[in-house]
């Protein structure tokens, strides 16, 4: 498949496509949660019980919604990319644990697990040259 090897010249373009898509979708999922108010935050934050955290569910729910929204924006523009990817990875690990804890099985948790791995990989790869952080 040597005819595809020329795509190596476009790694930064590939990273940009991932940044835009993942960032936009995280904002899409996080913004309604952020606007949902304390009732939504309490429900969202109670998911932390599946990783052993049972205190301050409103705070954890707000932080999860903020992480999805602001973290998605930071991924999208490539600013504080690695810390944003780290916090999104943690958020998705909690989401996966919640699905597993509720008995949804691996099929229910698969999307969160997959995205957690994507963000874990992006922590190491970084945003590429098309980012606000570019030096």
Tokens of 50: 């599946």
Provide the residue range defining the domain that includes 82: 10-125
pLDDT of res. 4 = 79
Domain annotation covers residue 61: yes
pLDDT at 135 exceeding the cut of 70: no
Please count the CA atoms within 13 angstroms of the CA of 40 that sit on its side-chain side. 13
Domain annotation covers residue 5: no
Domain annotation covers residue 2: no
Domain annotation covers residue 40: yes
**What are 1-45's pLDDT values in tens digits?**
677 788 888 999 999 999 999 999 999 999 999 999 999 999 999
| Predicted structure pTM score | 0.93
Domain annotation covers residue 134: no
CB atoms within 10 A of CB 87: 20
CA 55 to chain centroid, in Å, comes to 23
Domain annotation covers residue 46: yes
Helices (H) and strands (E) in the chain, counts: 5, 0
CB 61 within 8 A of CB 46: yes
pLDDT at 134 exceeding the cut of 80: no
Look at the chain and report how many structural domains it folds into.
1
Domain annotation covers residue 89: yes
Domain annotation covers residue 88: yes
pLDDT of res. 58 = 97
């Amino acid at each position: 498949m040597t005819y595809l090897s020329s795509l190596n010249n476009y790694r930064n373009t590939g990273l940009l496509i991932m940044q835009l898509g993942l960032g936009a979708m995280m904002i899409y999922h996080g913004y309604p949660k952020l606007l949902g108010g304390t009732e939504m935050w309490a429900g969202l934050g109670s998911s932390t019980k599946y990783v052993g955290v049972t205190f301050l569910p409103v705070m954890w729910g707000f932080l999860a919604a903020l992480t999805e929204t602001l973290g998605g924006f930071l991924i999208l523009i490539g600013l504080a990319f690695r810390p944003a990817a780290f916090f999104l990875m943690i958020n998705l690990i909690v989401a996966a644990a919640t699905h597993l804890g509720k008995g949804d099985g691996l099929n229910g948790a698969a999307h969160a697990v997959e995205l957690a791995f994507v963000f874990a990989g992006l922590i190491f790869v970084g945003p590429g040259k098309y980012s606000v952080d570019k030096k």
